[in-house]
Amino acid sequence: MTEEQQELRVEHYEMLYILSANYTAEEIKPIIEKIASLIKEQHGEITKDEDAGKLKFAYPIKQQNHGYYRLFEFNLVKNNLQNLNKILGLTNEILRFIIVKKKIKTETELKKEKDLQDKLAKKKEKEIEKIKADKKEIKEKVPKERGREKISLEDLDKKLDEILDTNKL
Amino acid sequence: MPRETNLLEKEKYCYFCVNGLKDIDYKDGQLLRRWTSSYNKIVPRRRSGVCSKHQRKLANAIKRARYMAILPYLPR
């Protein structure tokens, strides 16, 4: 692959961004549209728009404790990412954002993962059964030993009697 | 001098290998909290038992979560 081709390669990205909680739920909508249009301006193709809800920050950002977390997924030419980063950094409405490369899973990969999960689930079931079986064995063992003891006690009595009898003689 | 082995210590295992998780999501703060200390530091591999491949991904995920205020940098 030549350098030019590499720069024109389309990648799949995931972007998480925070909007200030000073906006109401309705005031947010035009802002979201604005951000989406910014991505589209860079010839990005949005595949997912998700609301992660209003959450509390782990530490205050610009003297605020809450924010709306939202998520975009989009395909973008690698070369345009730097531009997009710059533009998003200059939009005041966004408190903070992060763009992360996300791998699109192919069908074979998905199948592999599913197989792995099935395998693990079976393994766990087996282990649980094993533990149960072990517990049962212990339970079964205990009464047997007690039974033996009882028998042996009776035997002891008989033996004692015999011994006593022989002593009398 | 040989290292003393603690008999009470549990056997360590990589959570992500055992559960078949390939990628670590930085958005799941509750899960990531398991591998931060009470001072909100990333727990080293010798204590967490996570394998080297996943420890690298885990450290990255925790740092991203910190930037997005999902995890704290400092204790309160």
Mean pLDDT score, A112-123: 85
The whole-angstrom separation of Cα A5 and Cα B51 is 36
- Our count of domains for chain A comes to 1
CA distance A72 to A48: 6
Whether residue A117 lies within 8 A of chain B, CB to CB, comes out as yes
Give domain status of residue A15, yes or no: yes
Stretch B33-42: mean pLDDT, rounded?
92
- Which domain covers residue A28, as residue numbers? 7-101
- Tell me: pLDDT of A140 over 80: no
| Percent of chain A residues past pLDDT 90, beyond the cut | 8
Tokens of A29: 């909508």
Residue A35 has pLDDT above 80, yes or no: yes
Residue A64 lies inside a defined structural domain of this protein? yes
A127 within domain boundaries: no
- Is A109 inside a domain boundary? no
Q: How many CB pairs under 8 A join A and B?
A: 38
What confidence score (pLDDT) does residue A76 get?
A: 87
In this prediction, residue A11 has a pLDDT band, given cuts at 50, 70 and 90, of: confident
Query: Is residue A50, in this structure, part of any structural domain at all?
Result: yes
Whether A121 shows a pLDDT value over 70: the answer reads yes
The gap from C-alpha A7 to its chain's centroid, in whole angstroms, comes to 33
Share of chain A above pLDDT 70, in %: 88
- pLDDT above 60 (res A169): no
Structure letter (DSSP) for residue A116: H
Computed from CA positions of residues A104, A110, A112, A115, in that sequence, does the dihedral angle turn out positive or negative? positive
- The mean predicted confidence, pLDDT, of chain B is 86
DSSP labels, A44-112: -EEEEEEEEEEEEEEEEETTEEEEEEEEEEEEEEGGGHHHHHHHHHH-TTEEEEEEEE-PPPPHHHHHH
CB of A113 within 8 Å of a chain B CB? The answer is yes
Q: Residue A42 belongs to a domain with what CATH number?
A: 3.30.70.60
Domains and CATH numbers, chain B: 15-67 (4.10.640.10)
- Average pLDDT of span A12-29: 88
- CB within 8 Å of chain B, chain A residues 139-168: none
Let me know: does B27 contact A15? Beta carbons within 8 Å. Answer: no
A70 in Cβ contact with A14 (< 8 Å): no
DSSP B68: T
- Asked if residues B25 and B52 have their Cβ atoms less than 8 Å apart, the reply is no
Contact predicate A75/A42, CB 8 Å: no
Q: pLDDT digits over A39-53, tens only?
A: 888 888 888 888 888
How far apart CA A108 and CA A92 sit, in angstroms, is 42
pLDDT of residue B67: 92
> Is B20 within 8 Å of A117 when comparing Cβ atoms?
yes
Residue B5 banded pLDDT, cuts 50, 70, 90 = low
Q: What's the complex ipTM?
A: 0.75
Instruction: Write the DSSP symbol of residue B40.
Output: S
A120 closest CB neighbour out of B20, B64, B71: B20
Cβ contact B68–A18 (<8 Å): yes
**pLDDT 10s digits, A72-95:** 998 888 888 888 899 888 988 889
